């Protein structure tokens, strides 16, 4: 009989709940993610997808249950110090400095990581090679999203938390996003995505959060229902 132990999941959400502004947003969330794994959070507007990512990033604490990284509670300050260095965060707030060049907007983040030489290849991969010396204020919405993704690549951290990463991307941009996610996972990285739009990710775990504010039936809805007329 084999006595090999199953490896601990890299990330474990154990019966997690989360409150915001004294309201329960998430409850009974149980997910385990191993290296190379992917989690897709889906659900209606306001269902708590971004809240879940924020909690995993340490911006909100779970109100019940635990988030464990390598078996350790991320809210322990010693653990969080290490854990936060694993994270790459992409959200709708893009933290782009308009007066810096496209290149400097990525290199600045790379510098904070004490890394170098990754920014230009990352920008080229994301299709912004010809724009690297332009001021960031010249970028379109989709190009700004590509810049954010180039940052994620240049920072090169193992756990990606991506909030609506495909919003504003064209078809080629979505394919690039799918490609960099797949490559990151092949190297053992973890990707957690909140999205409304389809993003192809092989063997991803999908969690559909229940709606928090189901829409009440209106008079107009009733007119369309033969059983009520
Ligand atoms: N700063 C905040 N303070 C208190 N409550 C908030 C705050 N931001 C969001 N919420 C509430 O938390 C709930 C979940 O919001 P969240 O942004 O996580 O939803 P979401 O699933 O990401 O929605 P969307 O699809 O619109 O991005 C919403 O009801 C929202 O009103
Ligand atoms: Mg959201």
For the chain, give every domain's residue range.
Answer: 11-210
Taking CA atoms only, the protein residue closest to ligand 1 atom 18 is 48
Count of residues making up the chain: 229
Q: What pLDDT score was predicted for residue 215?
A: 60
pTM value?
0.92
Q: Which of 147, 159, 158 is nearest to 104 (CA)?
A: 147
Tell me if the domain spanning 11-210 has CATH number 3.40.50.300: yes
DSSP designation for 77: H
Pick from 17, 19, 21 the residue to mutate for probing ligand 1's pocket: most ligand atoms within 8 Å of its CB.
21
pLDDT of residue 200: 97
pLDDT of residue 3: 64
- Among the atoms of ligand 1, which is closest to the Cα of residue 23? 5
Report the C-alpha gap between 180 and 201 in whole angstroms: 11
Please answer whether residues 206 and 40 qualify as being in contact, where contact means their C-beta atoms are separated by less than 8 angstroms: yes
H helix count then E strand count, the chain:
7, 9
User: pLDDT tens track of the chain, all 229 residues?
Assistant: 566 677 899 999 999 999 998 899 999 999 999 999 999 999 999 999 999 999 999 999 999 999 999 999 999 999 999 999 999 999 999 999 999 999 999 999 999 999 899 999 999 999 999 999 999 999 999 999 999 999 999 999 999 999 999 999 999 999 999 999 999 999 999 999 999 999 999 999 999 999 876 566 666 667 776 665 5
* Predicted local confidence at residue 7, as pLDDT: 84
CA pair distance 204, 106, nearest whole angstrom: 28
Of 118, 127, 120, 130, residue with least CA distance to 145 = 127
How buried is residue 32: exposed, middle or buried, by Cβ count under 10 Å (0-12/13-18/19+)? middle
Looking from the CA of residue 212, the nearest atom of ligand 1 is: 29
Ligand 1 atom showing the smallest separation from residue 51 Cα:
18
CB contact at 8 A, 71 and 9: no
What are the CA-CA distances from residue 97 to residues 89, 104, 133, 136, 139 (Å)? 17, 9, 14, 7, 11
Q: What pLDDT is stored for residue 212 in this prediction?
A: 78
Per-residue confidence (pLDDT) for residue 148, from 0 to 100: 98
């Amino acid at each position: 009989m084999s006595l090999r132990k199953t490896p601990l999941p890299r990330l474990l959400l154990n019966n997690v709940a989360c409150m915001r502004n004294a309201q329960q947003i998430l409850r009974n969330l149980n997910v385990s993610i191993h290296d190379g794994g992917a989690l897709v959070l889906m659900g209606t507007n306001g269902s708590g997808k971004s809240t879940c990512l924020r909690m995993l990033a340490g911006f909100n604490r779970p109100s019940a249950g635990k988030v464990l990284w390598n078996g350790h509670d991320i809210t322990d300050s010693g653990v969080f110090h290490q854990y936060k260095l694993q994270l790459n965060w992409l959200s709708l707030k893009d933290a782009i400095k308009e007066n810096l060049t496209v290149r400097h907007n990525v290199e600045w983040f790379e510098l904070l990581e004490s890394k170098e030489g990754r920014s230009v290849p990352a920008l080229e991969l994301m299709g912004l090679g010809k724009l690297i010396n332009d001021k960031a204020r010249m970028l379109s919405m989709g190009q700004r999203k590509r810049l954010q993704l180039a940052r994620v690549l240049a920072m090169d951290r193992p756990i990606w938390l991506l909030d609506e990463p495909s919003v504003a991307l064209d078809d080629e941009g979505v394919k690039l996003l799918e490609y960099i996610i797949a490559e990151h996972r092949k190297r053992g990285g973890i990707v957690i995505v909140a999205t409304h739009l389809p993003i192809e990710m092989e063997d991803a775990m999908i969690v559909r959060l229940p709606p928090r504010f189901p829409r009440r039936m209106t008079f107009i809805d009733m007119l369309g229902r033969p059983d009520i007329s």
